Structure 1
Amino acid sequence: MSTSRVTTTVTQLRDALASGQPPLVLDVRWALGDPYGRDHYTDAHIPGAVYVDLDTELAAPPSPEGGRHPLPRLAELQKAARGWGLRQGQPVVVHDDLGNTAAARAWWLLRYAGVAEVTLLDGALGAWRAAQLPLESGIPVDPEPGDVVLRAGGLPLTDADGAAELASVGLLLDARAAERYRGEVEPVDPRAGHIPGAVSAPTGENLAADGTFLSPELLRKRFEDRGAGEASRIGVYCGSGVTAAHQIAALTIAGFDATLFAGSWSAWSADPTRPAATGPEPS
């Protein structure tokens, strides 16, 4: 698996799992309002896949300053990754059952922490099912502990001040649904609206109807239409920093580097000193 790739196809994963050096498959079944990811995994998962709990293993406890899904401390992430059985230098393939919009948090975190070969299963679990590849049920035995060593800094990261700067001098993309960007609804966070100057780019528009990523050419046009071609720097946020990672994966496929505002709208909107814009326009 190439270190430059963002995605792995189901055929590539099937062949890699049958090889002498199989990747670690991480099942990050999570969706807002659905706390039963582990049950879904137990019902049916890719053989050998390890379940990863987004709320407890890929995030620190929520706080007004950090938002609903703050990044975990590196030592805690390394402990979790070793618990998954991740060995130093081992490739990783991550997926969920929701177009990889949750699994992208694992992809981003592991890339940030220095894991070179980590990819998203293109089309997520739905593509594996559609290919009629085998699934297993039940809870596997705990894997042998891994020995991976994680180091922060593999991908760029920013805070609320940096996000505000990107909105004014670069390009800041809001990956939430358009109605949340416009401030028409806000189901979970303290205030409705968006960061002034941010441009709406809903995460769902990164995907084709079958849940796979759009082609690099289509993704590039999508982001160029929102100003990515002229921007000196690009940042992304969402509600709590999870689906923003999916946007960064899509931008990477399109050939753009982007910075994550991990606290995202959940942290921004919890700070009464931060302004909020509403309506379809950036400001």
Structure 2
Amino acid sequence: GSRIVLYDSSPWHTAARAWWMLRLFGAHNVAIIDGGFAKWQAEGREIATGKETPRHRHFTTWADLKGVRDLDQMKANVASGAEQVLDARSAARFTGAEEDPRPGTAPGHIPGSKNLPQGAVFNADGTWKTGDALKAEFDKAGVDLRKPIVMTCGSGITASVLAFGAHLLGNDAALYDGSWSEWGGDPETPKATGTA
């Protein structure tokens, strides 16, 4: 198969979401350009303009849903604590100090979850932290990378950033795709506020 290389220029590091989705549907040789398009440009690398001519490739898709969690699975996990839950939103949104930007969505976080704002896994120049520096961010959040983890965020986008970071450290974390937009918008789900 062909290698797929992703990049972005987004503060939400959306290439990680594409990485997660491609892997979910069977592409396993997927990479992200470290530092994104900004670093590529800063290094004076070649940039194409105009319309690209696609090269046809055969790609067989299948859905490998073992890395996806739904609302019912997350409710069961709140009761069991079988998987660690790590939230990629800002500390202010996680604690409930800041209102959610989605109308009708409660503030706070999933009970028992921990917080690692997605920006913490990047260096100041926009490159990914690696090795001990990356592991230190997960450690500070109170997450054990040797155990199962489910990533969450506001809508499933930045949770993918933490999933990619965990992948770099050897943990293939699951992702709660509905994330806080589903959990916080459901009046029946328990919510916690304050620090973890």
Tell me the TM-score normalised to structure 2 length.
0.89
Match of 1:209 among 97, 121, 124: 124
- Extract structure 1 runs of 4+ deviating beyond 3 A: 164-167
2:94 matched to which residue of 1? 181
Matched, 1:259 2:171: no
CA contact (8 A) 1:111 1:155 kept: no
Change (3 A) 1:261 1:154: closer
Q: Which residue matches 2:74?
A: 163
- Native 8 Å contact 1:166 1:235 kept in 2: no
Task: Within 5 Å, give how 1:126-137 maps onto structure 2.
Answer: 126-137=38-49
Out of 138, 148, 166, the position equivalent to 1:223 is 138
Higher relative contact order by CA 8 Å / sep ≥ 6: 1 or 2?
Answer: 2
1:174 touches 1:237 (CA, 8 Å); kept in 2? Answer: yes
Letter in 2 for 1:206: V
Per-residue Cα deviation, 1:49-98 (whole angstroms, up to 9, x for no partner): xxxxxxxxxxxxxxxxxxxxxxxxxxxxxxxxxxxxxxxx1110011102
Residue type of the partner of 1:246?
V
What is the match of residue 119 of structure 1? 31
CA contact (8 A) 2:96 2:107 kept: yes
Q: Distance in 2 between matches of 1:233 and 1:163?
A: 13
Show the 5 A alignment for 1:19-168: 89-98=1-10, 101-138=13-50, 140=51, 143-153=54-64, 156-167=67-78, 168=81
Question: Conserved in 1, the CA contact under 8 Å of 2:145 and 2:171?
Answer: no
Q: Runs of 5+ in structure 1 lacking a partner?
A: 1-88
Counterpart-to-counterpart distance in 2, 1:90 and 1:100:
26
Number of matched pairs? 192
Consecutive unaligned residues of structure 2, counting only runs of 5 or more, are: none
Q: What is aligned with 1:272?
A: 187
Q: Identity of aligned pairs, percent?
A: 34
Deviations 1:134-173 (A, max 9, x none): 22334x1562554311111176111123224445333100
Q: 1: CA distance between counterparts of 2:128 and 2:2?
A: 24
Q: Given that residues 12 and 157 in structure 2 are in contact (C-alpha distance below 8 angstroms), is that contact kept between their aligned partners in structure 1?
A: no
- TM-score of the superposition, structure 1-length normalised? 0.63
Q: Is the 8 A contact 2:145 2:166 kept in 1?
A: no
What are the superposed Cα offsets for residues 97-128 of structure 1, whole Å, 9 maximum, x if unpaired? 02672111110011111112101111010110
